[in-house]
Amino acid sequence: MKKIFSHPKSLRNISTHYCSGCGHGIAHRLIAEVVDELGIRERVIGICPVGCAVVAYDYWDFDCSEAAHGRGLAVATAIKRVRPENIVFTYQGDGDLAAIGTNETIHAANRGENLTVIFINNAVYGMTGGQMAPTTLLGQKTATTPEGRTSLMQGWPLKISEMLAMLPGVKYVERASLDSPGGIIKSKKAIKQAFENQINKVGFSLVELLSACPTYWNMPANQSLEWIKNSMIKEFPLGKIK
Amino acid sequence: MKKILMTGNEAIAEGAIQAGCGFYSGYPITPQNELIGYFAKHMPEKGRIFIQAESELAAINMVFGASAAGARAMTSSSSPGISLKQEGISYIAAAELPAVIVNVMRAGPGLGNIWPAQSDYFQATRSGGHGDYHCIVLAPASVQESYDIMFLAFDLADKYRNPVMILSDGILGQMMEPLVVSGELLVASRKNKRPINQLTTHQLTKPWALTGCKGRKPNIAKSFYLKEGDLEKFNLRLQGKYKNIQDKETRYEGLFLEDAKIIVVAYGTMARIAKSVVNKLREQGKKIGLIRPVTLWPFPKKIFQRLAVSDKLLVFLVIEMSYGQMLEDVQLAVNGKAPVEFLGRSGGGVPTEEEIIKKLQAISFKL
């Protein structure tokens, strides 16, 4: 009988530390499946973030580097320049990519580095206890916006993917969502495109994934998926941005 | 072998390129701009990588990445920029990545000014970032040594998988002197001598480097140890490495030490001025000597410990372009067994030969 489904080789067969309903596990697996399907496990180098996914290198079964908070794309830039035949990607949360690391993000994109970026947007800082992220929605309650985010005090949710899409060095930007089986299939397609672009030397490619954080959204996992659908997607519309 | 006229900053860059530096990233800041300019011009023509980074933070984290990927990697800056790099240096030390960081020191604190100083000694030798770590710190005192010391810097970085910091200063970086470019190693041990340009990125065997996991288990470059006890175990191993470096890698230049009654202690530019005073006074028959530490960390304690208890020695005089930073290392080494005097200026002022002689006269009077 033909085997049509198995555990990805690029993902170690161990349980993760993620909370129930968290999107990281799904995103890790999608990346592992894409790496397997493209046959690049022995060429890929992943840059793991600071945040909940800090030990992603314990879950992926390929070469990885840590990066200080926000500096993923500086580290990735250098690795790719030193080893252009390797496939280098960063995995970064919203605080990492769009707050503390905004400078590194914009300039790596503007240099048109041939890199793949997987950007996890869950509208909150997870690891440190649910503080406001640059992508926190207006009205959303967090540990540092106990009455809800207001544009007057904290400004608006930062649409960094749209900002990056304006740069000539950026070749591909897509936003997808991990809220449903359909969304996960589209997410995987986008991730695959972003990796294929690097293999084909197209240039800087970024996929933003809307991802649930039930623990710091203070709601059960099923409601979190509804919240992505009903609230997050309104602020962060899905589809190909560039 | 050819003799050329060069600034100290250019000599550092030329030395690094000759020593096989495969990756440089930096951000402009005075007084080290000749360095970044030299790399921009000469790295691409040799097939090496040069990136002008968007910030000092990006530059040092690019060095982290390039080193993790196996290249001999370096960055340079001057005092305020080096402060910005400290987080990255801590990560590099903790991930045990070889790297070279050049600090062409200027006067601080704050934005300070662009005049030379030696007031980043504490930051360089005490681990300027967070955590218990050390950079190996090397202090050249001439344009020639600025060139030569880069071979040693990359060798030590690779040997110990540890960041190495070069402490230069605004005078040394800007002044021009004749330089013999030959690969002749004046500071490094003779064993390490090798034909130049042999050590390029891909010839180095670094089994820990990130190259893609073909035919081996995945490599991870990281500094994170969450499980109880793991970090302490790792830190103890780091401490063992530092002890080993302290035992094997201290370097200094000594002048007229055996019969000296007064020993002047100075490094870098300050040592040049001090040496000229020592030589002049020796010609007049004064029993004066000089210790010039070349490694500021590890500090060459032993020579101080030995001389402090000798019958001939009466006093050490530490001279710095700071208000007394290396002074503390001398005091720790001497441990109260001999008097330690100090002369220092900072903020752009440099102790002159006249000031040093005046200070020596005052000390002699006291004696």
B327 has a pLDDT exceeding 90: yes
* Domain extent for B142: 2-213+237-248
Please name the residues in contact with B105: beta carbons below 8 A apart, sequence gap of 6 or more: B78, B79, B116, B117, B118, B119, B120, B167, B168, B169, B170
CB spacing of A71 vs B68 below 8 angstroms: no
CATH of the domain at B182: 3.40.50.970
What is the share, in percent, of chain B residues with pLDDT greater than 90? 89
Please name the residues in contact with A154: beta carbons below 8 A apart, sequence gap of 6 or more: A132, A136, A145
Domain boundaries, chain A: 24-240
Measured CA to CA in angstroms, residue A166 lies from A52, A104, A169, B4, B111 at distances of 29, 16, 9, 48, 35
- State whether residue A29 is helix, strand or coil: helix
Over its C-alpha atoms, chain B yields an Rg (Å, rounded) of 21
Has the ipTM of the complex gone over 0.95? yes
Same domain, B204 and B293: no
Same domain, B311 and B242: no
Number of compact structural domains in chain B: 2
The CA distance from B49 to the nearest CA of chain A, in Å, is 7
> Residue B183: pLDDT band by 50, 70, 90 thresholds?
low
Structure tokens, A85: 């035949």
Secondary structure letter of residue B168 according to DSSP: E
Residues 39-68 of B with CB under 8 A from A: 49, 51, 53-55, 57-59, 61-66, 68
CB spacing of A67 vs B201 below 8 angstroms: no
> What's the pLDDT tens digit per position in B73-90?
999 999 999 999 999 999
Task: Confirm or reject contact between B88 and chain A (CB < 8 A).
Answer: yes
Q: Which pLDDT belongs to residue B367? A: 62
CB spacing of B51 vs A75 below 8 angstroms: no
User: Does residue B222 lie in a domain region?
Assistant: no
Structure tokens, A206: 């970024």
**Boundary residue ending a domain (B199, B222, B248):** B248
Strand partners, B274: none
Same domain, B181 and B151: yes
> What's the pLDDT tens digit per position in A167-177?
999 999 999 99
CA B96 distance to own-chain centroid: 18
According to CATH, the topology of domain A24-240 is Rossmann fold (3.40.50)
**Boundary residue ending a domain (B222, B248, B274):** B248
User: Does residue B223 lie in a domain region?
Assistant: no
Same domain, B187 and B321: no
Long-range contacts of A156-162 (CB under 8 A, 24+ apart): A157/A123, A157/A235, A157/A236, A158/A98, A158/A134, A159/A236, A160/A97, A160/A98, A160/A102, A160/A105, A160/A119, A160/A134, A160/A135, A161/A119, A161/A206, A161/A208, A161/A236, A161/A241, A162/A241
Please name the residues in contact with B348: beta carbons below 8 A apart, sequence gap of 6 or more: B107, B113, B115, B116, B117
Give φ, ψ of B264 to 5 degrees: -85, 135
User: Does residue B230 lie in a domain region?
Assistant: no
Same domain, B243 and B274: no
Q: Residue range A22-30: average pLDDT? A: 98
Task: Confirm or reject contact between B277 and chain A (CB < 8 A).
Answer: no
> What's the pLDDT tens digit per position in A112-152?
999 999 999 999 999 999 999 999 999 999 999 999 999 99
Same domain, B241 and B279: no
Question: What is the rounded distance in angstroms from the CA atom of residue B171 to the CA atom of residue B9?
Answer: 10
> What's the pLDDT tens digit per position in B261-276?
999 999 999 999 999 9
> Residue B364: pLDDT band by 50, 70, 90 thresholds?
confident
User: Does residue B76 lie in a domain region?
Assistant: yes
**Boundary residue ending a domain (B224, B248, B272):** B248
Same domain, B257 and B244: no
CB spacing of B66 vs A65 below 8 angstroms: no
Average model confidence (pLDDT) for chain B? 93
Same domain, B261 and B166: no
Residues 142-161 of B with CB under 8 A from A: none
Same domain, B138 and B90: yes
Q: Which of B210, B219, B224 sits opposite A54 (nearest CB)?
A: B224
> Residue B181: pLDDT band by 50, 70, 90 thresholds?
confident
B310 has a pLDDT exceeding 70: yes
Query: Cβ distance B227 to A71 under 8 Å?
Result: no
> What's the pLDDT tens digit per position in B7-28?
999 999 999 999 999 999 999 9
A22 has a pLDDT exceeding 70: yes
Q: Which pLDDT belongs to residue B197? A: 39
Question: What is the rounded distance in angstroms from the CA atom of residue B365 to the CA atom of residue B39?
Answer: 51
Same domain, B241 and B289: no
Q: Which pLDDT belongs to residue B71? A: 95
Question: What is the rounded distance in angstroms from the CA atom of residue B65 to the CA atom of residue A61?
Answer: 19
CATH of the domain at B302: 3.40.50.920
Q: Residue range A42-47: average pLDDT? A: 98
Q: Residue range A145-164: average pLDDT? A: 98
Same domain, B169 and B298: no
Same domain, B192 and B270: no
